[in-house]
Structure 1
Amino acid sequence: MQAPAPATAFDTRTRILNLAEDLLLSRGFNAFSYQHIAKELAMKPAAIHYHYPGKEDLGVAIIRRQLMRLRKWRDLPRVTELTPPEQFEAFVDVYRGRAVTQRQVCFFGALAAEFQTLPEAMQQELRTLNVELTEWLASVLAAGRAANTLHYKGHPVSKAAQVLTTLAGALQVARVHDEQQCQRIIEQVRTELREPV
């Protein structure tokens, strides 16, 4: 029987990033330190600084990874080949999963609450993430309206922003109460988009 291979720098970076993201979503970015990460991962803070010299670097890495996840997900054939209502449902399922299985808040919402205290580089990355997410959802809504399968008044970008804000709020409510509250809010959004205006 062979001994397990030693952890690579990539593994260590990923473990740090994973834990930092979990802490961000459960406590907020300003409520954890490298000391928290070091203790949880049983490593010295210097090891974290080796991979992410400052907390700003870590924060930027977390947001960029989320942006890469968004880009990868929206470009998957299993997403691009769906009808606009099906794409919307697939997107909503991501939020539902956070409420039901992880009891986590919205990634954007968690950082937006602390936006004024975030380093400028993180603020810029968060804006980029929000713009890309809003534009993608707006394109889905616009395609759905053109096909007469999604219904709403106003501009698709405005409706996308409203939907995203509602879903972020639904996750906050689920954290205080339970996932049923989140489900009710999601169902209301769904109902409004299905009914002709």
Structure 2
Amino acid sequence: MPTAVPDTRTRILDLAEQLLLTRGFNAFSYQHIARELGVKPAAIHYHYPTKEDLGTAIIGRQRRRLGKWRGLPRLTELSPVAQLDALLEVYLTHLRQEQRVCLFGSLAADFRTLPEPMQRELRLFNRELTAWLAEVLTAGRTAGALVFRGEPVAKAAQVLTTLAGALQVARVHDEHQFYLIFDQLRSELLPE
């Protein structure tokens, strides 16, 4: 059975997301997207009248993906350590895909130049991810499977910030630097 070709709106969103994660939001234009997709810039403006609309749509889609992912039985039925490993695998996937940074890492650098709707969506995305990870850490600590000092929400914020930073460090140095940070983070959370 042939694979369905994504519609133009989805193709635009997919490419814009890829450009955002590899270059940053301020480093691509509708011209880049139009050229890559072989369409006129007007086709992009038809679906996303402004770049703000496009950026907000990218973050919104990431939030929906996060919500679906968090609710998947194959994730919710895992132990806290396995749930943490599933999150870590997301960051490893970014590293393996042309050393892309994560959504938060990409947009945080440009945050003050982003339109307010994008800022709002990014804050919501980060809060939702942090809250989920805090729940995982709480459950892991309660079960004796994860160890850390302090409040779970603070540790969750630290873990996510460390992972975002590790992806950026890998761009400057190499994958080895990412794995050093990654392994250190994991070793600090797991009991000896």
TM-score, structure 1 as length reference: 0.93
Counterpart residue number, 2:150: 154
2:167 to 147, 154, 171: 171
**Bigger-Rg structure (1/2):** 1
Q: Does residue 47 of structure 2 align to residue 43 of structure 1?
A: no
Partner of 2:120: 124
2:91 is the counterpart of 1:95: yes
CA contact (8 A) 1:151 1:193 kept: yes
The partner residue of 1:20 within 13, 16, 20 is 16
Residue pair 1:96, 1:182 contacting (<8 A) in 2 also: no
The one-character-per-residue Cα deviations of 1:71-109 (angstroms, maximum 9, x if unpaired) are 111111110000001100011011011112331012101
Which residue of 2 is the match for residue 65 of structure 1?
A: 61
Q: Which of 79, 82, 106 is 1:110 aligned to?
A: 106
Please point out which of 45, 50, 54 is paired with 2:50: 54
User: Which residue of 2 is the match for residue 77 of structure 1?
Assistant: 73
Instruction: Name the CA distance, whole Å, in 1 between partners of 2:87 and 2:111.
Output: 24
Q: 1:138-153 residue pairs with structure 2 within 5 A?
A: 138-153=134-149
The residue type paired with residue 55 of structure 1 is K
One-letter amino acid of the structure 2 residue matched with residue 151 of structure 1:
V
Partner of 1:194: 190
Contact kept, 8 Å, 1:96 with 1:183, in 2: the verdict is no
- Equivalents in 1 of 2:29, 2:96: separation in Å? 28
* Structure 2 contact 145–191 (Cα < 8 Å) conserved: no
Name the amino acid aligned to 1:36: H
Match of 1:11 in 2: 7
Q: Which amino acid aligns with 2:52?
A: E
Checking the alignment, whether the CA contact within 8 Å between 2:15 and 2:33 is kept in structure 1 is yes
CA distance in 1, matches of 2:148, 2:14: 38
Q: Partner of 1:30 in structure 2?
A: 26
Partner of 1:184: 180
Matched letter for residue 99 of structure 2: R
Q: Distance in 2 between matches of 1:184 and 1:37?
A: 35
Q: Which amino acid counterpart does residue 192 of structure 1 have in structure 2?
A: E
- Could you list the runs of 5+ residues in structure 1 that have no partner in the other structure? none
State the identity %.
Answer: 66
> 4+ residue runs of structure 1 moved beyond 3 angstroms?
none
Equivalenced residue count is 190
Q: In the TM superposition, what is the alpha-carbon distance from 1:180 to its structure 2 partner?
A: 2.1
Name the CA distance, whole Å, in 2 between partners of 1:80 and 1:102. 29
How far the C-alpha of 1:122 sits from its partner, in A, is 0.3
